Amino acid sequence: MSNPNYGVWRPMAENVEFNALESNSNAVMAVADTVRTTLGPKGLDKLLIDQAMNRHISNDGVTILLSLRAIHPVSRMIVEIAERQEQLVGDGTTTAVVMAAEMIKEGKRLVKELGVHPTKVVEGIEGGVKEACQLLEKEAKKISLNEIALEQVVKTSLSSKLDGKKLSLLVISALRSVGKNALYNGSYDFDKTITVLRRTTMEDRIVNGIVLERKRMDPEMPLEIKDARVMIARLDLKPVKEAWVKENSKYEEILNMENDRVAKSKDIVNSLLATGANAILIASGEVDQVIENLLVANKVFAVRISIEEIEYLSRYTRAKPVRMMDDLKKSDILGKADRIYEDEDNGVIYIDNGSDGSMATMIVSGTTKETSLERWRAAIDGVNAAEAALNKGVVAGGGAAELHVIEKVKNLRLKGLEQVGLDVVTSALESIMRQILTNAGYNGLEKVMAAKASPDTFGIDIDSGDPVDMWKLGVLDPLLVKTMALEAAGEIAKSVLRIDRNLAAEDLSQQALSETRR
Ligand code: ADP
Ligand code: MG
């Protein structure tokens, strides 16, 4: 097994016959066990302690997973998949992990106890996941911005979060305040229209407009500009570089350069003012002190911004970024804002376009850095859930949608032994409701049986323990969160079941050493 490029690959355990499936599935279970008790509204929190002994309480799947220093390669895989789920749909990470664990558990049973070849199981998983996703798609209902269902999706998604009720109201009002302005080519993209800021010193609120976590360039600039004519400047605002001055030793030359600097700065400021701008958002590198002083003298409101902020500020104010002096002569460079002002107490700047509700900023508070971070993440999750729901529709929550497609998945006819691979998928579909209810203190299995015997949209009311229509209860999940979680779980399970041996590269220097010894 020697490979000149990669060194020697050695089994990870001392015994060559060590069972990789056993070891890998144990690793998956270990990871899943740390997050499964957080699933659902009655899930418990985890206390995380970092290396610096900072405490942090979390209920968020990804946060918990990322805090584990998972060294087993398969555990790392789970963490990566959860992260991807978070990035793509922003929710459903615990769901994905719980389903993956269930699939691997069941898959392992088929392989070990019934002697089914892993490739057959893998094909069964593939077929089953595809079928389940299609069935869930058929179940899904489209919803629109003003329906109560949208509020219910957001509430469901935030039900397990710290302060979830309050946050969901905040999220909903942000969604409604930007409304159809968030539509791009027929689908909603709230990333472009809602910014979520966390500020420990401020109250929760929605601001119609943009909030910059910045201060004016100079405290002597005006605090407020009404009917602002906005310029976004990417111009070079340092006409004479200090480095040039230092290279010149003669006093006269230095004086000349200094005069030149003042003259050039004046020219620049005059050209800026000639456009009529009274508020300048500056994304240039350095700004000459002379220029800054002249802006102060002319009562201009100037604030530094980053290159990344240009795009949305330009979209909001309709100002076109100015890169060269020649651009200043163009007629369409300035944008508008009804009001720009600095809240000195909180160190933020508001840019308001009055009636134009095209952008909103959600300010999320938190008494400590940790709670504000957790609430901030939750708020973003809520926005993502709403986006997914509006774009692709919703299904009954609480694991009900998954549970009720099981019988139909079982009807799928695959050739030969692949058929048993379907069991892997149906177990996973059942595991979500079971876990949510177990976490709520019920006998999960018993409750799942009761729900199964009820009509298709029925799950279990987590407070009473009785079967109820999840649509009537208002427990709804975005379809996309469910299908993505199912696909992600399938991916993990397939990879884990396919591995028959874990090999680790031996250190190359070790190899060299043993070769010289020989
Ligand atoms: P995830 O990280 O997978 O999003 P959560 O802890 O957020 O995990 O739990 C999500 C699950 O909890 C979803 O299946 C959702 O339908 C379910 N859920 C939320 N609220 C309720 C409720 N009131 N009753 C039953 N299930 C609920
Ligand atoms: Mg969630």
Any idea where the domains of the chain sit in the sequence?
13-141+393-503, 148-194+365-392, 210-356
Q: With contact defined as beta carbons under 8 Å apart, do 409 and 423 qualify?
A: no
**Closest atom of ligand 1 to CA, residue 91:** 4
In the structure, what pLDDT confidence band is assigned to residue 502 with cuts at 50, 70 and 90?
A: low
- Cα–Cα distance for residue pair 287/382, rounded to 1 Å: 40
Using CA atoms, how far residue 245 sits from 7, 242, 249, 256, 285, in Å, is 57, 5, 8, 10, 19
pLDDT at 504: 58
398 lines ligand 1 (CB under 6 A): yes
- Cα–Cα distance for residue pair 408/196, rounded to 1 Å: 41
Taking the CA atoms of 83, 89, 90 and 93 in sequence, report the sign of the dihedral they define: negative
Tens digits of residue pLDDT in 283-337: 988 899 999 999 999 999 999 999 999 998 998 999 999 999 999 999 899 999 9
Fold that domain 210-356 belongs to in CATH: GroEL (3.50.7)
Distance, first Cα to last Cα, the chain: 18
Residue 4 has pLDDT above 70, yes or no: no
85 lines ligand 1 (CB under 6 A): no
**Closest atom of ligand 1 to CA, residue 61:** 2
pLDDT at 219: 95
What is the 406 CA–ligand 1 centroid distance (Å)? 19
Q: Which residues surround ligand 2, an ion (CB under 5 A)?
A: 91
- Three-class SS state of 410: helix
**pTM score > 0.85 for this model?**
no
Amino acid of residue 289: Q
User: How many CB atoms within 10 Å of residue 453?
Assistant: 9
- Cα–Cα distance for residue pair 110/205, rounded to 1 Å: 53
**Closest atom of ligand 1 to CA, residue 461:** 24
- Cα–Cα distance for residue pair 444/438, rounded to 1 Å: 5
Annotate 433-461 with DSSP letters as a single string.
HHHHHHHTTS-HHHHHHHHHTS-TTEEE-
Percentage above 90 pLDDT, the chain? 61
What is the 74 CA–ligand 1 centroid distance (Å)? 26
Taking the CA atoms of 462, 464, 470 and 476 in sequence, report the sign of the dihedral they define: negative
60 lines ligand 1 (CB under 6 A): no
- Cα–Cα distance for residue pair 187/197, rounded to 1 Å: 24
Q: Ligand 1 pocket check: which of 31, 83, 94, 159 to mutate, most ligand atoms within 8 Å of Cβ? A: 159
**Closest atom of ligand 1 to CA, residue 473:** 23
- Cα–Cα distance for residue pair 235/237, rounded to 1 Å: 6
Using CA atoms, how far residue 461 sits from 22, 91, 148, 252, 456, in Å, is 37, 22, 19, 86, 15
163 lines ligand 1 (CB under 6 A): no
**Residue from 75, 93, 76 nearest 84 by CA:** 93
43 lines ligand 1 (CB under 6 A): yes
CATH number for the domain running over 13-141+393-503: 1.10.560.10
- Three-class SS state of 384: helix
| 13-141+393-503 shares its CATH topology with 210-356 | no
Using CA atoms, how far residue 192 sits from 100, 209, 299, 358, 359, in Å, is 32, 12, 32, 10, 8
What is the 98 CA–ligand 1 centroid distance (Å)? 12
In the structure, what pLDDT confidence band is assigned to residue 9 with cuts at 50, 70 and 90?
A: low
Q: With contact defined as beta carbons under 8 Å apart, do 245 and 262 qualify?
A: no
